Structure formats: C-alpha cells, structure tokens
Amino acid sequence: MREQVEVKFTRIHDDAQAPTHGSTLAAGWDLRTIEETVILKSISSKVKTGLKVAIPAGYEGQIRARSSLGAKGLILPNAPGTIDADYRGELMVLMTWIGDGDSFTIPKGERVAQLVISPIPNVSFIEVSESELTDTERGDGGFGSTGRF
C-alpha cells in the first residue's frame, strides 16, 4: 500500500488544468500549459502551468520531462527541476528545443511535464577527517571511470 500524500493546489489562470495521472500506477502527475508557447532553438523558456502548489514539509516536487516530448527534441535543461516545500509561486517548466528546425511550438493545453512528489529525509552533514570516509571500489574515479558511456 502506497502512502497517501495530500498536495493542495490552486489555479491562478482560468485555463489552468489540475494535475492528472496518465495511468493508475504512473509515478508523475501531468502538467499542462495554459498558453501556446514557442520554444526557440537552444534558448531556455519558462512554460506556464497556471498552478500553484503547497507541497508538504518533508517532501519535494520534481519536474520531469515527458518522454514523448524529449524524443522530439524538447528537453528540460535542469531536469529534474526541484520544487521546494516552501515555494508558493506558479509552477513553470523550463524547456529548451534541441531538435530539428529553429523552434518548437507547444499548443495550449498540451501536457508538458510531470510532477513527482518525493520524500526528503532529514539529513545532517557531519564533518570528519578524510581518513574517516570509507573506501569503495570506485574510489575517487570521476567522469567515465566506471567504464560505461
């Protein structure tokens, strides 16, 4: 049984639509744009949803790309974008066009991203000496050190 989390939202635009699930077990809630938006090549643009949310303390909202738009070349350059529990502004989706052509037009009402609500643990950072950090097989290997792409 999954935990029930209540996220309050309000519409700040007449054309705003409530977040919706694409399927019963979908992890994310689809967000739709309130206006036609032209995304120019290689320029990040804010796409308006007309929604504000109140994410409960101890949780965050993650704005993630919809795979169908990403496959066309419309990406979220900061994916996933983080919505903190104390943010009360409009949800906007930062998008960049990297596909063919000079621009991509998103029609009004299009599903542009997904909102995933995730728990955030209560974390404490404890400063220690370098010798107190445990060794791992990877060690200090950085970019590409695991032999994968």
The domain segmentation of the chain, as residue ranges, is 13-120
* Residue 145 confidence class, pLDDT cut points 50, 70, 90: low
Q: Whole-model pTM?
A: 0.86
Fold of 13-120: Deoxyuridine 5'-Triphosphate Nucleotidohydrolase; Chain A (2.70.40)
Mean pLDDT of 34-44: 96
For range 34-61, the mean pLDDT:
97
Q: Alpha-carbon distance 5 to 35, whole Å?
A: 29
How large is the average pLDDT for residues 36-42? 96
- Does 80 sit behind a cis peptide bond, omega within 30 degrees of 0 on the bond before it? yes
Query: Mind listing the pLDDT tens digit for each residue in 60-77?
Result: 999 998 988 888 999 999
Which residues fall within 8 angstroms of residue 108, CB to CB, at 6 or more apart?
15, 33, 34, 35, 36
Q: Choose among 56, 58, 54: nearest CA to 122.
A: 58
Which pLDDT value is given to residue 141?
A: 79
